[in-house]
Amino acid sequence: MVTMTQQQLDALYHCVYALHYHLVLVTKYRRKALDAAMLRDFEAHARERVDAWGGRLIEVNGEPDHVHLLFTLPPKHALADFVNALKTGTSRRLRNDHRERVNRFYSKPVLWSRSYCVISCGGAPLSVIKQYIESQDRPDD
């Protein structure tokens, strides 16, 4: 990791990069299916997936109908491939681990909407985006 005037840079083989992404995943039909336990499990699963792809998970939070992630990924991976793997894996694991709750909202094996929002972070300071994600109205236990 290289530091240049408050910009943290990562290194990979013959490149140095700072690729930060803000990803928003929405539940299918915006149903308020997520509870505190599911968000905790989602964070653990997301951290595993980001780590496996060589990235770094900076912040995760959400509300009953969506989640926000702030993370880095090395440039050797296609972002769309990562998002697809994250959505597929977390949907499967959350549906298995929280079957009773998910079945109250969905009769088919779904959790996430097909669409998602991803924004490369660079214009706004990361501290502002991190603070925004931290301020999400996370459900109580």
pLDDT digits (tens, 9 = 90+) for 106-135: 999 999 999 999 999 865 677 888 898 999
Q: What is the 3-state secondary structure (H, E, C) of 15-50?
A: EEECCEEEEEEEEHHHCCCCCHHHHHHHHHHHHHHH
Confidence of residue 6 (pLDDT cuts 50, 70, 90): low
Q: Which domains does the chain have, with CATH numbers?
A: 18-134 (3.30.70.1290)
Q: How many residues does the chain have?
A: 141
- pLDDT value at residue 7: 61
Contact indicator for 27, 122 with CB cutoff of 8 Å: no
**Residue 141: exposed, middle, or buried by beta-carbon count in 10 A (0-12, 13-18, 19+)?**
exposed
**What is the three-class DSSP state of 110?**
coil
Q: Which residue has the higher pLDDT, 8 or 104?
A: 104
pLDDT digits (tens, 9 = 90+) for 56-80: 999 999 999 999 999 999 999 999 9
Neighbour order of strands in the sheet with 66-72: 56-63, 66-72, 20-27, 112-121
pLDDT digits (tens, 9 = 90+) for 21-33: 999 999 999 999 9
119: β partners: 22
**What is the three-class DSSP state of 60?**
strand
